[in-house]
Amino acid sequence: MASSFAAGQRRPLRHLLMMSLLPIVAIANGGAAESVSGVSHDIARLDSEFLPNAIRVHPRVISGGTPDGSNAFAELRTMGVRTLISVDGMTPDVESAKKYGLRYVHLPHGYDGIADDRFKSLAKGVRTLPGPIYIHCHHGKHRSPAAAAAGCVGAGLISKDEAEELLKLAGTGKNYKGLFAVVHKAEPLDEDEIDAIPADFPETTEIAPMAEAMVKIAQAFHNLERLQASGWKAPADHPDLDAVHEALLLREHYTEMLRTDDARSRPKRFYQILAEGRDLAQRLEVELDEHRASAAQPRSGERLLTALGNNCKACHVKFRDNAFAD
């Protein structure tokens, strides 16, 4: 197996971790449904019913998307997981995790990369927190694979080549240059370095207002996608959702963000994209409200939702995914 580590100290430790933890994470759902050619059999996609894009990175670490609902937390417990690390901006569902005997740690980071302090915390976490550990973002495609890859390299659990192949298997978008850069430059930390890293593993972490607003927009949009898929009616698994209300919330999130000094201080195009999103959300709200009592489908609902998605993507490509964007 190719490795970027210096021979000696790390390999025996890595071997010991793999051998001692392998029985724990035989992971009830079985082995790899898909693996990457030329990569250790440790890295493989898992056959999971409730965990999006679940990938076994190492016998000690799994990467995936947000566990949504009791079935997801029950599946994690069945898999033997003991700790969850969320790198998403949304506040973790700590109470649901506790019901299933799981510990939550919140170490959020953006799409533009992972700060050095956060990288070190991830490395310390995957080395010292009770495992197996499930590292997740929202969809499990971009931030969590990057966090798992960098953290596992830092902890000496996988090689850099394996880390980069993990991003490939997870489907991490090439436009997320900052995430790829973090994984590319990650190096294993010495034992003394890891010991010196503060064991600061909070259940929840406050995030910047702009980031929090973006999380709320993403959640409202995700709910609207669910509603659209069920004919703009509440889906069976989320009977509390209401299409008009979610469109209203989306519009208000955009409106409030446009009022902030932060938004006004950013590049003109950023502010324009937010304003365009607000206008699209308002049009969708009106469209859905007009058809609330009608059996007919909103004529422009799907088109407006698609336009909102494209609006988000344009902002992400220009301002979120590249730390050096103007």
Cβ-based neighbours of 233, under 8 Å, separated by 6 or more: 227, 243
How deeply is 101 buried, as exposed, middle or buried, from its count of CB atoms within 10 A (0-12, 13-18, 19+)? exposed
Whole-number Å distance between alpha carbons of 275 and 265: 14
12 CB neighbour count, 10 Å cutoff? 9
Our CA dihedral for 89, 94, 97, 103, rounded to 10 degrees, sits at 90
Residue 22: pLDDT band (50, 70, 90) is very low
Whole-number Å distance between alpha carbons of 282 and 287: 9
| Model pLDDT, residue 293 | 67
Residue 321: pLDDT band (50, 70, 90) is low
Q: Which two tokens stand for residue 229?
A: 């898929």
Check: CB of residue 65 under 8 Å from CB of residue 148.
Answer: no
Residue 114, pLDDT > 50, answer: yes
Residue 219, pLDDT > 70, answer: yes
Residue 5, pLDDT > 80, answer: no
Average pLDDT over residues 244-252: 84
Q: What order of strands is seen across the sheet that includes strand 103-106?
A: 32-35, 44-46, 55-58, 61-64, 133-136, 83-86, 103-106
Residue 88: pLDDT band (50, 70, 90) is confident
Residue 39, pLDDT > 70, answer: no
Average pLDDT over residues 92-106: 96
- Give the pLDDT confidence of 270-313 residue by residue, as tens digits: 889 899 999 999 999 888 888 876 666 777 888 999 998 888 88
Residue 256: pLDDT band (50, 70, 90) is confident
| Model pLDDT, residue 30 | 39
- Which structural domains are found in the chain, ordered by start? 10-196 (3.90.190.10), 209-320 (1.20.120)
Q: Which amino acid is at 115?
A: A
Q: What is the distance between the terminal CA atoms of the chain, rounded to a whole angstrom?
A: 41
Q: What region does 93 belong to: left with phi over 0, alpha with psi -120 to 50, or beta?
A: beta
| Model pLDDT, residue 320 | 67
Q: Which residue has the higher pLDDT, 69 or 320?
A: 69
Cβ-based neighbours of 197, under 8 Å, separated by 6 or more: 120, 121, 123, 124, 189
Average pLDDT over residues 137-145: 92
Cβ-based neighbours of 122, under 8 Å, separated by 6 or more: 85, 87, 107, 114, 135, 147, 150, 151, 154
Residue 36, pLDDT > 60, answer: no
Model-level pTM?
0.63
Residue 40, pLDDT > 80, answer: no
Average pLDDT score over the chain: 82
Cβ-based neighbours of 131, under 8 Å, separated by 6 or more: 21, 24, 25, 60, 61, 82, 83
> What share of the chain in percent tops pLDDT 90?
47
Q: Which two tokens stand for residue 243?
A: 């299409």
